[in-house]
Amino acid sequence: MPVFSTVKQKTNKSCLGILSDNALMLQVKAGDLERMSLLFERHHKTLFGFLFHLTQRREASEDMVQTVFYRMLKYRNSFTVGSNFSGWMYHIARNVLKDENFGLYSRYDPISAHEEQLAGGNLADDDLEKKQSRQQLYAAMAILSEGDREILMLNRVRELNYPEISDIMGISQGAARVRVSRAIEELKKIFIKKGIKRDS
């Protein structure tokens, strides 16, 4: 089990009297299970977004959110003082994705995903333009390799920096930086091919 470490605790809100995620998780580990609901309040939406952007499946993503929180409760003893909560949570999320055979290790199928969108009724979007640009981005992401797609979505999470991403992926920080950079370059090329331009 990798050790998640952070040199600087940038998300330590304790000076405001609000407990940081790490502090809360340590309380859960100590037996105060109810604290998990506060962590749920804070993070389930972003976690759901992460899973959704990688799978395009709403119901499955909701179920996976539950599984991630269940596993964090189950394995709370492996969370230590040096651990980083978001790094740990997204590491588990990645494992859950693997287990559910979505996104990462199975073919990302934009067609059936699109069908589910039509059937399930996705994001309520007032803005047709916003919807179109979102569809464009998803289509572009579908062309990326699974690894590139995954690392860009991890990178997108505010609470995850290179130390956490490198721990999650099991690579060095330098390698993580290079991969992010390469994935961005790939996506740039796809944007050009698809004629996705920025408004000047």
Partner 1 sequence: MNDCEEYKERLADWHMGRLEAAAAEDMERHLNNCADCRETLAATAFVLDSINNLQDPEPSVQVKADFRMMLDNFKAKEKKSVFRDRICSRLLQPRLPLAYGLLILFGIGGAYLLGRSSKQELEGQELHAGVQEQKQTMLLAMLDNPLASERIKAVSYTNDLRKVTDKVIDALFTTLNNDPNVNVRLSALEALSALGNHPAVRTGLIKSIPTQDSPVIQLAIADVMLNLQEKDSVGSFRELLKQKGLDDEVKKKVKETITKLI
Q: Is 30 in the site for partner 1 (CB under 8 A)?
A: no
Q: Is 42 in the site for partner 1 (CB under 8 A)?
A: no
Q: Is 160 in the site for partner 1 (CB under 8 A)?
A: no
Residue 25 or 64 with smaller CB distance to partner 1: 64
Q: Give CA separation, 169 vs 26, 76, 79, 124, 185, in Å.
A: 24, 21, 18, 33, 20
- Cα dihedral sign for 139, 121, 94, 11? positive
Structure tokens at 125: 């979007």
Number of residues that bind partner 1 (CB under 8 A): 48
- Spatial distance between the Cα atoms of 174 and 182, rounded to a whole number of angstroms: 12
- Cα dihedral sign for 149, 165, 155, 76? positive
Residue 64 or 169 with smaller CB distance to partner 1: 64
Q: Which H helix or E strand runs over 78?
A: none
Cβ atoms of 76 and 28 closer than 8 Å: yes
Q: In the set 25, 65, 97, 154, which binds partner 1 (CB under 8 A)?
A: 65
Q: Is 184 in the site for partner 1 (CB under 8 A)?
A: yes
Q: In the set 17, 34, 129, 195, which binds partner 1 (CB under 8 A)?
A: 34
Residues that bind partner 1 (CB under 8 A): 33-34, 36-37, 40, 44-46, 48-49, 52-53, 58-59, 61-67, 69-71, 73-74, 99, 122-123, 130, 133-134, 137, 152, 155-156, 161-162, 177-178, 180-181, 184, 187-188, 191, 196, 198
